Amino acid sequence: MERLLLYLLKSPSLFCPSEGRQKYVPFTRHSSQTTLQIFRLSAAYRSRFYPIKEGGRILEFIYAGKEFKTLGGLTVGTATTHYYASKEFKAKQETTKSFTCSPQEVISGGDFGQSTYCHLILGLHFSTQVEFVASAFSYTIVQAFSFFQEVWREICADIKEGNLSSRITLPNMRKAVLALIRPNPSLASHIEEICLELESSLGWLGLIPKLWPNAKYISSIMTGSMLPYLKKLRHYAGGLPLVSADYGSTESWIGVNVDPHLPPEDVSFAVIPTFSYFEFIPLYRQQNHQDVSTDVDFVEEKPVPLSQVKLGQEYELVLTTFTGLYRYRLGDVVEVTGFYKGTPKLSFIYRRKLILTINIDKNTEKDLQRVVDKASQLLSRTTQAEVVDFTSHADVTARPGHYIIYWEIRGEAEDKALEECCREMDAGFVDHGYVVSRRMKSIGPLELRVVEGGTFGKVAEMCVGKCGGLNQFKTPRCTTNSVMLNILDDSTVKRFRSSAYD
């Protein structure tokens, strides 16, 4: 224990979301080393199916957040922030012989829009050398290219003149990018020609292979909560293979995609038994589960070790890690879909109890309940109104995606008070993934939609048929159900956008 403590004191640690509190999870050299190990492994598996040229470039949409020090002197930040700042990140580029297009100043700029613009301009500057396009989660690639649809003319003008738009205000980022680009009128007119065609007749279908003709594939996490972005990603990919990236968490890496040629919907991950000590809690779905509500629950059995998992069985993962976590429940539900050289292959089902997620943010029903409770107390204190019922929705169709919270209220409330409640809820989600994404503007301002009286009654009526009785009905605290969303949107009488991160 003493050795572990010393080691932790010398090493950075990081946040991890935990129902309303931010939680520190240890992150040590071992964590960066296993990251390097899994990236090398997965690059090797990918190259079996999609060989790439040594020394080529990756158009990588990657972003490092800010780090800070605790009073005790430990560095705190997200796992990716630590990794991009570590020597292992440089080592990964050297050993896999693939180099990211953007310099450190772009990766760690701390502003999503500015970094994305620079990733795009540099990706185009090196376009013929780009061997593949990547990001941590596919949400980011989709966001980046939908942003490109808006700014491509500006980017072309910059490439033509070797200049950088005034939207890039961060001095270090400007300097680093300007040092790399040169006026290139012929590249600019080539891009312009392609974009005009993509815009007018193709609806941006196949944008990636058209602009990066030597790209062999697209790689990022596409499973789990990223599945909703697949359609748009396929549209931009226009037939280019989509390679689903590996499975891991801040706490520990878990498994590698040994079948990179499979479509993301069929991907599973071979557990690397040396990354942590893995245990598995067998889960059995409750009979008569009401699917309208998202709080699926399971009957659990005693955990089994990796060597005793069964094909077709669902489990929750438990980790004992080299960084000091003992029998830590990750909350992920996985299914054993096969074995690879004796190690189980897991397909990711979903994160238990997680309801709101767009990008790297993770909020549970309890997190939502807590922010709504706080804001509704504020409403009761400042007005004659009260919250009657509520639900939420992660809107990923807008750019950037954002949370919508629907409130039905009783009594009179001034707009100013509701605006304040909206702000309070946005600021109330303390999950670090959410806070970082909001600060970097990769998630938009939270929206409060006030619906007219009786709306949740209509929602309940709609659900009765499916739930088998009103007395069993319980308002889903988050929904993607289109019928329910239609009822809520048709009944919306007021909308507010949070100013919490302005």
Report the residue number, 318 or 451, with the smaller CB distance to ligand AMP.
Answer: 318
- Residue 425 burial (10 A CB sphere; 0-12, 13-18, 19+): buried
CB of residue 311 vs ligand AMP: minimum separation in angstroms? 20
**Beta carbon of residue 222, minimum distance to ligand AMP (angstroms, whole number):** 8
**Closer to ligand AMP by Cβ: residue 248 or 476:** 248
User: Cβ closer to ligand AMP: 16 or 141?
Assistant: 16
Q: How many residues does the chain have?
A: 502
Least Å from the CB of residue 440 to ligand AMP:
15
Residues in contact with ligand AMP by the rule CB under 6 A: 16, 79, 221, 223-224, 246-250, 330, 332, 348, 351, 360, 433
| Per-residue buried b or exposed e for 454-467, using 16+ beta carbons within 10 Å of the residue's own CB | ebbebbeebbeeeb
> How far is residue 290 from each of residues 161, 224, 272, 295, 315, measured CA to CA in Å?
60, 21, 36, 9, 20
Q: How far is the CB of 205 from ligand AMP (least distance, A)?
A: 26
Is 65 or 224 the residue whose CB approaches ligand AMP more closely?
A: 224
Closest-by-Cβ residue to ligand AMP is 224
| Residue 412 and residue 418 in contact, taking contact as beta carbons nearer than 8 Å | no
Output 188 or 237, the one with its CB closest to ligand AMP.
Answer: 237
Q: What is the smallest separation between the CB atom of 360 and ligand AMP, expressed in angstroms?
A: 5
Position of tokens 């029998």? 327
Nearer to ligand AMP, 376 or 437 (CB): 437
3-state secondary structure 138-179: HHHHHHHHHHHHHHHHHHHHHHHHCCCCCCCCCHHHHHHHHC
Could you give the C-alpha distances from 245 to 31, 33, 248, 362, 422, in angstroms and in order?
Answer: 18, 18, 10, 19, 36
Helix (H, G, I), strand (E, B) or coil at 484: helix
What CA–CA distance (Å, rounded) separates 100 from 56?
9
For residue 248, the Cα-to-chain-centroid distance in whole angstroms is: 13
For ligand AMP, the closer CB: 30 or 494: 30
Q: What is the largest CA-CA distance in the chain?
A: 69
For residue 296, the minimal CB distance to ligand AMP (Å) is: 15
Nearer to ligand AMP, 164 or 221 (CB): 221
- The terminus-to-terminus CA distance of the chain in angstroms comes to 44
DSSP code per residue over 254-295: EEE-S-TTS-GGG--EEE-TTSEEEEEEEEEEPTT--TTSS-
CB-nearer residue toward ligand AMP: 268 or 481 = 268
The minimum distance between CB 256 and ligand AMP, in angstroms, equals 10
CA distance 91 to 414: 57
CB of 242 to ligand AMP, least distance (A): 13
Residue 237 or 330 with smaller CB distance to ligand AMP: 330
Cβ atoms within 10 Å, residue 214: 15
CB of 142 to ligand AMP, least distance (A): 16
State phi, psi for 135 to the nearest 5 degrees: -160, 170
Closest distance to ligand AMP from the beta carbon of 7 (Å): 21
Q: CB 443 → ligand AMP: shortest distance, Å?
A: 14
Provide the 3-class DSSP secondary structure of residue 396.
Answer: coil
If the CB atoms of residues 79 and 181 are measured against ligand AMP, the closer one turns out to be: 79
The two structure tokens encoding residue 407: 């409130």
Q: Please, what sign has the CA dihedral across residues 189, 190, 195, 200?
A: positive
